[in-house]
Amino acid sequence: MIVLKQGQYQEIVDYARKFAPIEACGLLGGRVTGDDKIVEKVYFLTNIDNSPEHFSMDAKEQFAAVKDMRQNCWTLLGNYHSHPASPSRPSEEDKRLAFDPAASYLILSLLDTVPVLKGFKIAQGTVSEEKIKII
């Protein structure tokens, strides 16, 4: 299960809305406790593709985020991105580019008035939903 604070969730929603219709993206840093991935910090990164249908994270920003995680003794838990005009489910491209089976992949859909955030595990193209708890 992925554990997000309400404020972190709202920051992700606000960031995605700010850049819509471009996909917003970023990383999640935190700690693993048992089966729970507790998000300590959300890293907001630039989608260098500047596209409404796919994203690529800025490499310098990724390295800076990972460096910050290491300095805080956190783990890279996964990443998130928005789907400004489609449901909260991995696209074929999302599945193809999911290289880390241990990572959590969060997708925020802005398709409806109320945003929908879902988490996924993706291993060799197989997708399973991962529960998200917002506290």
10 Ramachandran zone, left/alpha/beta (phi>0; psi -120 to 50): alpha
* DSSP conformational letter for 65: H
pTM given for the model: 0.93
Residue 125: pLDDT over 80: no
pLDDT of amino acid 96 = 83
What are the domain boundaries of the chain? 2-134
CA-wise closest residue to 47 among 32, 74, 30, 27: 27
User: CB neighbours (10 Å) of residue 62?
Assistant: 17
- CATH fold, domain 2-134, is Cytidine Deaminase; domain 2 (3.40.140)
What is the per-residue pLDDT for 120? 95
The pLDDT tens digits for 2-32 are: 999 999 999 999 999 999 999 999 999 999 9
Return d(Cα 57, Cα 60) in angstroms, integer.
Answer: 9
Taking only the tens place, the pLDDT of each residue in 78-124 is: 999 999 999 999 988 888 888 888 999 999 999 999 999 999 999 88
